[in-house]
Chains A and B, each alone.
Chain A
Amino acid sequence: MRVEADGTAEVTMTVNGRAVTLAVAPRTTLSDVLRDRLGLTGTHVGCEHGVCGMCTVLLDGEAVRACLLFAVQCDGVALTTVEGLGSASDQHPLQEAFAHHHALQCGFCTPGMLMSSYDLLAGGTYDEHRLPEDMSGVLCRCTGYRGVLAAVAHVARAHPDGVPPPRAAVPPALVGRSGSASVGATLASDARKSPISAPETIAIPSGPPTATVEVRSELTSPVDDVWAVLADFGRLAACLPGAEMTADLGDDRYRGRATVGLGPVSLRFEGLAHVVDHDASARRMRVLAQGTDRGGSSTQAVIRLAADPADGGGTVLWADADVHLSGRVAQFGRALAGDVSRRLFEQFATAVDEAARTGEAPAPGSGPGPVRLALVAGERGQPQLVPMRRVWGTVSTIALPPRPSMRRMSCSTAV
């Protein structure tokens, strides 16, 4: 069975005891179908990526996140939403207990809390001592947890042989709000969207970077050969994993793209790079880079590269970067950064060494493997004056954001 991206599939589900058949596009989530097509707006949508628990419903009797299911996956399943748990005139014991224990303030999380707690009590794994952990899958932002836990514990004690099933005696009418006509139109407009245009100027955010990376690599090639690679932007770009220079705009500005792949994550950044400092005698350079992905993620970076002669005729290559992430990639971000960034710079250093040795840029495909994505959560703070780091000597200072040492990565790589 196959449904094309712009097609629809007929899906039949039992919702609160009533059978419904709908045509859905593959990318339509179950939560959107419940709310927009069936009018069951008791199922709330919060984060839409499985974290907050607002959209929790029962699927074949087990609690699931309706935002993490595509409706097309749900053919043949039985769903219970909060509307099926009980009604205003015929409340489920959980609903009565929530009211009695004041287990809600604004009420936004309440449908999720109810469905999650029903699942806990019906699932046969209830343990009062583990209740806080067991109810941690739904977030409340009114700090109403105590009332929720008291209500769930109350129902557990009142029904030691198991919680009564959902009422669903008089399921509410399933009425669509927006119908299905818009699916094709939405897809068509999505397809018409022009490719994103690369920014014309590079603006580095003034706040602290999302991640700070500092890498020292020992290369076998002589320092002049290494610097020759770094000084030629076309060769340098070829050594960056997944990156490609597409145009030389003059004045040390370049247009390019970079593909980042990490498991199911695949981002394609289009952007600019600008070599703002280039000191051939000290073999140091500073590059500003900016890229935007069509999914709304963007990155800016200040990258500093330096090559120093090493004992034994080789080179010590320093690379450090302040990486700013914004958009969804930043939301997704957490501490994968260290491992991933290290790989990226290891690959870069290996490629530079290779390019310095052969005098050529690495051929596409023979060079570095897929890029690893730098994802870290950063701390927020005010910019301050700090001494420039050792790579740059101690002669001057530059305005940099604060850098708690815990956010900093430093590693040595023997290539």
Chain B
Amino acid sequence: MKAAPFAYHRPASVDEAVDVLAAGDAKVLAGGQSLVPVLAMRLGRPGTLVDITRLPGLDALSVSGGELRLGAAVRQRRVERSAEVADVPLIGRAMPFVGHRELRSRGTVCGSLAHADPAAELPAVAACLGATVEVTGPSGTREVAARDLVTGAMTTVVGADELITAVRFPVARAGDGFGFAEIARRHGDFALAGVAVHVVRGGAATLAAFGVSDRPVVRDVTVGHDPTEAGLRPVTDALAREVVDTAGDAHASRGYRARLLGVLAARELVRAHREAHA
């Protein structure tokens, strides 16, 4: 369980990081809470790790222009404890489910997006809220909608010579309500099914399901004026049957995951609707 030998590169600038990545056979090391286990098991053996956690500017956490912007070196636990997280309540709801305290103290928000585990919470939050991801490569920085970021299990549109440098979440407005829930076998495990929801006063809602496909699945839902869990179940159950396309495994069949998603979605939509109309 020791990583194969690799060169360690701590660049002084994002440009230098991009140069090292562009040279090939290199991976970005941020929090390392997903990457290092892969190295320890020798399921991956990149020639170079590019440690971006000390790059100037990447540790910035700020709110401006109606957006919460998190640099690539901003750790999950710092976000969770920050005053600014109140501006994007869905992050605060989701964060306790991300691994454990001991992992969030090192893990980064952008790293979770870049790793794109199908059962990860933060890519679903970013997709639900319509966050914007800043991706920097040899030709500069481009913006990618979080909903377009993930293209498959642990696969994103970020090129081998690019890195995510920041993510911007829209700040909640009056009349917004949120919900987040997941079911895992033990706290901190990857979710068997989970849901992040955003309801706007008036009834329009966005739902992002995770752990049930190879990427977060975003759907618009209409919840009406006075939704109840029982009343929403036909809608969420049908939605769950449509979006759950992961295979079953020893822990949860496909049908069970769909059942979980239908229940969680209805419950959280009602909760978010109540919050939006409070």
Contact = CB atoms under 8 A, between A and B. Distances in A.
Please say whether chains A and B are actual partners in one complex.
Answer: yes
B5 A123 contact: no
Interface residues of A, number: 83
Nearest to A335: B249
Contacts of A59: 105
A378 B247 CA distance: 12
B103 A49 contact: no
A322 B96 CA distance: 38
B8 A407 contact: no
Contacts of A7: 7
Contacts, number: 231
A407 B246 contact: no
B142 interface: no
B9 to A, nearest CB: 5
A377 B249 contact: yes
Given A9-B8, A134-B101, A137-B100, A49 B246 contact: no
Nearest to A212: B247
Contact of A2 (B5, B9, B256): B9
B47 interface: yes
A337 B8 contact: no
B9 A27 contact: no
Given A338-B247, A406-B253, A49 B102 contact: no
B5 A335 contact: no
B37 A68 contact: yes
Contacts of A294: 42
Contacts of A56: 102
Interface string A7-45: 101000000000000000111010010000000000000
A137 B188 contact: yes
Contacts of B101: 63, 116, 119-120, 123, 134, 137
Nearest to B96: A133
A50 B33 contact: yes
Contact of B51 (A73, A124, A328): A73
B198 interface: no
A336 B120 CA distance: 12
Interface stretch (B124-132, B152-160, B227-235): B152-160
Contacts of A73: 8, 29, 32, 51, 53
Given A68-B33, A137-B188, A263-B116, A49 B1 contact: yes
A331 interface: yes
A347 to B, nearest CB: 11
A3 B40 contact: no
A342 B153 CA distance: 11
A128 interface: no
Contact of B190 (A334, A406, A408): A334
B41 interface: yes
Interface of A: 1-7, 9, 25-27, 29, 32, 47-51, 53, 56, 59, 62-65, 67-70, 72-73, 116, 119-120, 123-125, 132-134, 136-138, 187, 190-191, 262-267, 293-297, 328-329, 331-332, 334-343, 370, 372, 376-379, 405-409, 411
14 contacts: A5-B6, A26-B6, A50-B36, A68-B36, A73-B8, A191-B5, A264-B154, A295-B4, A295-B43, A335-B252, A338-B247, A339-B247, A405-B248, A406-B256
Interface of B: 1-10, 12, 27, 29, 32-47, 49, 51, 53, 77, 81, 96, 99-103, 105-106, 115-116, 118, 152-155, 186-188, 190, 213-214, 245-256
